[in-house]
């Protein structure tokens, strides 16, 4: 760390560049007073801040000690002061701030920017890969339906349920960004915050707290930055080998239906590594569609003989996966047990704080209560692991009201963003305590800083069953890449999307294209959606079954490559799905390319994400590329390729150590149509 002082300011250099800068004319620090108003409806939040005051602190005084530097900032009359300390901590620069006046509860910190700078991260972002030009509130919530205020879908979702969302709404926001100037900045606070990249001259971090902590690090490459970020936040565990051996088939309806659908797909030559049945604990029908009982107990009527059947499936190499979330439906046995023990989050009247989860109310297990935390781990151990599950969708985590009362006495406003990490920790510890870590996979949609070390796999949540850029197939590509630049390098999605509303329905074309995308991701998994009868499914006709079976075989052949990438992600936090610029840092076009990605260093995938397209205009970084399906070489640059269904644009590096594997995949060939009917 180097400090450079001038007559009217100073800068802090950490690495080759000045990461922090202050002057009387351009202060780095503002304090304010605000009064928030937060309303939640089914995990969607209306957040307003009544800002009463915002004051720049221009005057400063610098002090040096053996640990680093301290800057004391003051306003014009010197009645208000704020202290920032700058301390090297190994490869990190830690910045800590404290205010002298407890009336102030808002802070804005500015970091110098360049107009040609690119910025990535922010957690899992669905609409933006490069964050420049926009502001990103960091608040865990439902992602929203449509996620674009200019669309009819979003307008209808807002009208009928305040559920439309926007470009920034996400299950997994994280106050972290990585700059093309080769540094990252991470806000350690879980408070509501905003990352604001609207200015060309500075990045602004706004926090609803004046006690703040930042961690910054420089490195020579993006790979070095991600390695450092993984060291700070935690590294993901590896998936068990079975996860890559075929698709995870999403089915519902009971033991016999699961058996029949599995038999049908295996008969088509499909590689199936798991059956995923979210309704293992019963079905609840609402106006939204097919929901679950939320009592997390085996429904023996719907799934007779399930434990014995799971053992039979395991013998044949097929695992069984279920579903759970951290909420308990009012009226259920687990809700009653938790209520009697006072294990549920309370409201200001010392009553259970019931949350509307979509035409039924639920209580929230209070993870700040050690006894409640342990009790819910026991539910997982007994009711899921005990039956023989090899994994489950660990859903939700976003619905903690900002004004509820917690056992620990901590502010729910502060813990709201941390809640998904606590939920991930409960799942992780249940596995560790039963000796199943690395064998069983909970996959999660919500996340927070720190989820990385507890959650091995993230899934993208509830996309629309449509082609929209902000909430359809395209948005999942962006989500995977932004999550990877935030320390979560293993990502998957519902093939075909989930949310089926406002006359939407999943078409055959969308299902086939989403399948072709997911066969080149870490995990292939289907979902019927909230209204299965309105959606095209993997077994809706013979051609779809043949196409899906073909895709599962391609995915299974990728096992040694995906396994190697998983190892790298675990050791170095280099994501499996990577933006092009991660490998080609000096290529400006690589930084600007959003709907292509590298699967590891050696495969470039350009999914078809627009309806009706049978060709793709795409960009290949300067290298020696080979088209996967026909072996045609490409030197790089802008290319136009044919992309009919069954032949998604995929290229491999000619010099790859896995070139032999990729040629073997090419021998399986592109898909050319069904070999048999209905």
Which whole number is the average pLDDT over 289-313?
Answer: 96
Average pLDDT of the chain?
96
From CA 322, how far away is CA 413, in angstroms rounded?
31
pLDDT at site 526: 98
| Residue spans of beta strands (DSSP E) within 157-314 | 173-179, 183-187, 193-196, 202-207, 212-218, 247-250, 272-276, 283-286, 289-292
Q: 490-507 in b/e burial notation, b at 16+ Cβ within 10 A?
A: bbbbbbbbbbbbbebebb
Q: Which contiguous run of DSSP H or E holds residue 21?
A: strand 18-23
Which whole number is the average pLDDT over 305-320?
Answer: 98
How buried is 370 (Cβ within 10 angstroms: 0-12 exposed, 13-18 middle, 19+ buried)? Answer: exposed
Q: Treating both helix axes as pointing N-terminal to C-terminal, what angle do 306-315 and 255-267 enclose, rounded to 10 degrees?
A: 20
Q: pLDDT tens digits, residue range 565-581?
A: 999 999 999 999 999 99
How buried is 632 (Cβ within 10 angstroms: 0-12 exposed, 13-18 middle, 19+ buried)? Answer: exposed
From CA 174, how far away is CA 207, in angstroms rounded?
13
**Angle subtended at Cα 56 by Cα 195 and Cα 109, rounded to the nearest 5 degrees:** 25
Higher-pLDDT residue of 103 and 672 is 103
From CA 281, how far away is CA 283, in angstroms rounded?
7
At 484, give phi and psi (nearest 5°).
-65, -35
Identify whether the C-beta of residue 567 lies closer than 8 Å to the C-beta of residue 286: no
Cross-strand bridge partners of residue 176: 186
From CA 49, how far away is CA 346, in angstroms rounded?
24
Q: pLDDT tens digits, residue range 64-83?
A: 998 999 999 999 887 899 99
Q: How confident is the model at residue 665 (pLDDT cuts 50, 70, 90)?
A: very high
Instruction: Using the predicted structure, report yes or no on whether residue 60 has a pLDDT greater than 90.
Output: yes
Q: Can you tell me which residue has the tokens 């929901």?
A: 291
Q: pLDDT tens digits, residue range 643-654?
A: 999 999 999 999
Among the listed residues 93, 88, 62, the one whose alpha carbon sits nearest the alpha carbon of residue 214: 93
Lowest-confidence pick of 291-295, 640-644, 671-675: 671-675
Rounded alpha-carbon distances, angstroms, from residue 43 to 60, 128, 289, 381, 446: 43, 22, 17, 27, 12
Region for 529 from its dihedrals, namely left if φ exceeds 0, alpha if ψ lies in -120 to 50, beta otherwise: left
Joined tokens for residue 505? 């329905």
pLDDT at site 603: 98
Report the SS3 class of residue 298: coil
pLDDT at site 1: 87
Report the SS3 class of residue 225: helix
Which whole number is the average pLDDT over 327-341?
Answer: 98
Q: Which contiguous run of DSSP H or E holds residue 563?
A: helix 559-572
Q: How confident is the model at residue 16 (pLDDT cuts 50, 70, 90)?
A: confident
pLDDT at site 672: 85
Q: pLDDT tens digits, residue range 485-527?
A: 999 999 999 999 999 999 999 999 999 999 999 999 999 999 9
Joined tokens for residue 8? 């009217």
pLDDT at site 76: 82
From CA 230, how far away is CA 104, in angstroms rounded?
33
From CA 273, how far away is CA 283, in angstroms rounded?
25
Joined tokens for residue 53? 């005051």
Among the listed residues 604, 568, 567, the one whose alpha carbon sits nearest the alpha carbon of residue 583: 604
Q: Which active-site residues does the annotation give?
A: 395, 398, 462
How buried is 170 (Cβ within 10 angstroms: 0-12 exposed, 13-18 middle, 19+ buried)? Answer: buried
Instruction: Using the predicted structure, report yes or no on whether residue 17 has a pLDDT greater than 90.
Output: no
Q: pLDDT tens digits, residue range 216-258?
A: 999 999 999 999 999 999 999 999 999 999 999 999 999 999 9
Q: pLDDT tens digits, residue range 538-554?
A: 999 999 999 999 999 99
Q: How confident is the model at residue 677 (pLDDT cuts 50, 70, 90)?
A: very low
Q: How confident is the model at residue 289 (pLDDT cuts 50, 70, 90)?
A: confident
Instruction: Using the predicted structure, report yes or no on whether residue 676 has a pLDDT greater than 60.
Output: no
| Residue spans of beta strands (DSSP E) within 26-67 | 29-41, 44-56, 59-65
Identify whether the C-beta of residue 332 lies closer than 8 Å to the C-beta of residue 293: yes
Higher-pLDDT residue of 514 and 18 is 514
From CA 285, how far away is CA 120, in angstroms rounded?
40
Cα torsion 513, 514, 518, 520 to 10°: value is: 30
Measured from the Cβ of residue 43, the count of other Cβ atoms closer than 10 Å reads: 22
pLDDT at site 675: 40
- Length reported for the chain: 678
Report the SS3 class of residue 456: coil
From CA 77, how far away is CA 56, in angstroms rounded?
12
Q: How confident is the model at residue 192 (pLDDT cuts 50, 70, 90)?
A: very high
């Amino acid at each position: 760390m180097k400090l450079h002082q001038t007559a009217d300011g100073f800068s802090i250099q950490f690495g080759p560049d000045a990461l922090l800068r202050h002057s009387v004319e351009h202060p780095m620090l503002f304090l304010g007073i605000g009064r928030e108003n937060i309303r939640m409806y089914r995990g969607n939040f209306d957040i307003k801040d009544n800002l009463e005051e915002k004051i720049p602190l221009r005057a400063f005084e610098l002090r040096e000690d053996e640990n680093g530097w301290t800057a004391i900032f003051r306003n014009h009359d010197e009645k208000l002061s704020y202290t920032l300390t700058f301390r090297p901590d190994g490869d990190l620069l830690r910045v800590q701030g404290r205010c002298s006046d407890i009336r102030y509860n808002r802070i804005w910190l500015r970091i110098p920017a360049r107009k040609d700078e690119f910025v990535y991260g922010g957690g899992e972002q669905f609409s933006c890969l490069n964050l420049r030009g926009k502001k990103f509130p960091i608040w865990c919530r439902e992602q929203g339906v449509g996620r674009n205020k200019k669309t009819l879908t979003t307008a209808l979702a807002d009208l009928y349920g305040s559920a439309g969302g926007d470009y920034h709404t996400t299950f997994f926001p994280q106050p972290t960004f990585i700059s093309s100037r080769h540094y990252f900045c991470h806000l350690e606070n879980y408070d509501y915050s905003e990352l604001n990249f609207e200015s060309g001259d500075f990045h602004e971090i706004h926090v609803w707290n004046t006690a703040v902590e930042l961690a910054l690090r420089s490195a020579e490459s993006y790979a070095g930055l991600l390695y450092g970020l993984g060291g700070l936040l935690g590294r993901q565990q590896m998936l068990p080998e079975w996860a890559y051996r075929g698709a995870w088939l999403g089915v519902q309806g009971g033991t016999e239906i699961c058996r029949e659908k599995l038999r049908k797909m295996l008969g088509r030559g499909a590689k199936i590594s798991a059956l995923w049945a979210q309704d293992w604990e019963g079905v609840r029908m609402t106006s939204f569609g097919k929901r679950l009982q939320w009592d997390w107990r085996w429904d023996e009527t719907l799934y007779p003989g399930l434990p014995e059947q799971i053992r039979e499936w395991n013998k044949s190499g097929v695992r069984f996966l279920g579903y759970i979330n951290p909420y308990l439906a009012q009226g259920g046995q687990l809700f009653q047990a938790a209520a009697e023990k006072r294990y549920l989050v309370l409201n200001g009247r010392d009553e259970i704080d019931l949350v509307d989860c979509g035409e039924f109310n639920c209580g929230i297990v209070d993870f700040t209560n050690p006894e409640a935390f342990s009790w819910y781990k026991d539910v997982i151990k007994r009711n899921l692991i005990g039956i023989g599950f090899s994994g489950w969708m660990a859903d939700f985590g976003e619905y903690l009201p900002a004004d509820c009362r917690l056992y620990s006495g901590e502010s729910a406003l502060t813990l709201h963003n941390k809640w998904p990490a606590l939920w991930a920790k409960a799942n992780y510890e249940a596995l560790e305590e039963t000796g199943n870590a690395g064998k069983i996979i909970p996959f999660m949609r919500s996340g927070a800083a720190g989820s990385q070390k507890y959650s091995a796999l993230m899934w993208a949540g509830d996309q629309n069953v449509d082609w929209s850029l902000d909430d359809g197939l395209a948005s999942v590509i962006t989500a995977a890449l932004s999550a990877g630049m935030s320390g979560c390098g293993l990502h998957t999605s519902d093939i075909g999307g989930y949310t089926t509303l406002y006359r939407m329905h999943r078409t055959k074309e969308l299902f086939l294209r989403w399948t072709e995308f997911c066969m080149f991701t870490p995990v292939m998994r289907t979902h019927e959606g909230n209204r299965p009868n309105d959606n095209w499914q993997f077994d809706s006709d013979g051609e779809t079954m043949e196409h899906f079976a073909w895709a599962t075989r391609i995915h299974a052949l990728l096992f040694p490559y995906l396994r190697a990438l998983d190892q790298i992600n675990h050791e170095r936090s280099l994501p499996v799905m990577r933006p092009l610029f991660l490998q080609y840092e000096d290529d400006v076009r690589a930084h600007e390319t959003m709907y292509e990605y590298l699967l590891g260093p050696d495969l470039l995938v350009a999914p078809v994400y627009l309806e009706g397209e049978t060709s793709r205009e795409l960009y290949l970084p300067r290298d020696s590329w080979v088209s996967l399906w026909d072996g045609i070489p490409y030197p790089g640059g802008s290319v136009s390729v044919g992309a009919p269904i069954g032949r998604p644009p995929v290229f491999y590096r000619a010099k790859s150590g896995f070139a032999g594997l990729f040629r073997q995949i090419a021998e399986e060939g592109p898909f050319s149509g069904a070999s048999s009917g209905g």
